[in-house]
Amino acid sequence: MAKKRQNIILENVRIEAVAAEGKALAHIEGAVIFVPLAVPGDVVDIRVTKKRKNYMEGLIVRLVEPSPDRLEPFCEHFGVCGGCKWQALPYEMQLEAKRQQVEDQLRRIGHLDVPEVSPVIASENTVYYRNKLEFTFSDKRWLTDEERPEDGEIIPSCPGVGFHVGRFFDKVLDIKHCWLQPEPSNEIRNFIREYAFDKGLSFFNIRTQEGWLRNMIVRNNQEGDVMLILVFHYEDVEARKSLLDAVGERFPTIKSLYYVINGKQNDSISDLPCQLYKGEEALYEKMEDLRFKIGPKSFYQTNTRQAYRLYGVARQFAALSGSETVYDLYTGTGTIAQFVSGRAAKVVGIEYVPEAIEDAKANARANGIDNCEFIAGDMKDVLTEAFIARHGRPDVIILDPPRAGIHPDVAKVILSAAPGRMVYVSCNPASQARDLDLFCHPQAENAPRYRITAVQPVDMFPHTHHVENVVALEQI
């Protein structure tokens, strides 16, 4: 017999601080409880959802007394949508929480000897700051508490287009207005939804793998140019052309209109052809005197203005004089490599995704840069002693790996290359702290040791707990 879950309500709990993963915390009889969507100073009633020996997790069931710092969330989807969970937290408190997160990961958890962590570089825009969003079509959208029918009542088909809800891979919240991307992003999505309703077009069901409309991706640049990529589950030439023509007529300012046919069981389009239906093949973004081509599959930092500040920190930490050989590992489309190339003798970029490397090469040619070389391949396979012998020993290494960090074999080759300086850019301070320990406390007897000389967090995603962090290291 299944054990009945105990319904524990903790009353009049005062929230004390912001904690990891964007949650807040309080202490109850020696145990800590983690609560999402709370603000330090709130007095709340909490329903316990998880209870362990030393900690609990819970949800707010009643806001007894709001914190004097609590703000009214600006988005109608707050609390249901999985993003922007810190809307109730003043921006200055968000920045300090992110700085503290970096400090905790590097110093308290990672036991690293670090200088003072600099204040987080704030985002110039805290809304409408993203240059790319992906929306999902679903034939059974998430219903809010107010929309759910009484027990026993049949729930009709409720299609919608928006974001996945929390941990539910098959639940999509229908989004009316998103504050992440400037217009016409919302206008395009809402127009396509209403057009689909009017024409009786089917929305995708991820469980049964049925339905036609699957995903849509909206990209934009700082000039206001827009790229739209519509993803269909299967080809229906007549319906596709009618929809794309309607979108093009309603939004004549769309610069690039693409479509993709995706009959796979996952939403990734990285291995699928993108068909240009109308307009130009790419958008372009400027950064100082550089111009970057952004295609439908191109990787580009989603907060453009903060990307400029992030790359500026990386270039500053690299401390280049013009004579150095620089390795840019996990180079993506080569933005950092090209950004530092004017102050280096030679830059070698390595990236796993071949299409990204082709973009990097094209951008370098277009920018008249002839001291950058880009190589595609798995980092642990490409970055070898033989590779270093061919391309020259690096004076400076810049790393910007995925969230999981670097492979131990990559760390070994980096240590054997023994660059004088390193710059580690990370979107995950936890994995960054683990990797930094490999450089600061290497296990091999003859390996060089490094010390951390500077730590600079950068806020790329306001109203979330995510933070980008840049660390400078120099060989001891």
What is the three-class DSSP state of 224?
Answer: coil
427 counts as catalytic: yes
Neighbour-count burial for 131-142, b at 16+ CB within 10 Å, e otherwise? bbbebbbbbbbb
For 184, 212, 252, 278, the CA distances from 248, given in Å and listed in that order, are 13, 19, 5, 8
DSSP strand pairing (325-329 vs 172-174): unpaired
- Which one of 81, 274, 427, 440 is the catalytic residue? 427
- Type of residue numbered 336: I
Q: How far, rounded to the nearest angstrom, does the alpha carbon of residue 403 sit from its chain's CA centroid?
A: 9
Residues 6+ apart with CB under 8 A from 220: 131, 132, 181, 182, 185, 226, 227, 283
- All residues at 6 or more sequence positions from 390 whose CB lies less than 8 Å from its CB, including other chains: none
What is the C-alpha end-to-end distance of the chain, expressed in Å?
A: 62
Do the beta carbons of residue 142 and residue 206 sit within 8 Å?
no
Give the C-alpha separation, 289 to 375, whole Å.
24
What's the CA angle centered on 55, arms 119 and 59, to 5 degrees?
Answer: 80
263, 233 contact by CB (below 8 A)? yes
Structure tokens at 160: 């919608």
CA dist 195 and 216 (Å) reads 14
Catalytic residues: 427
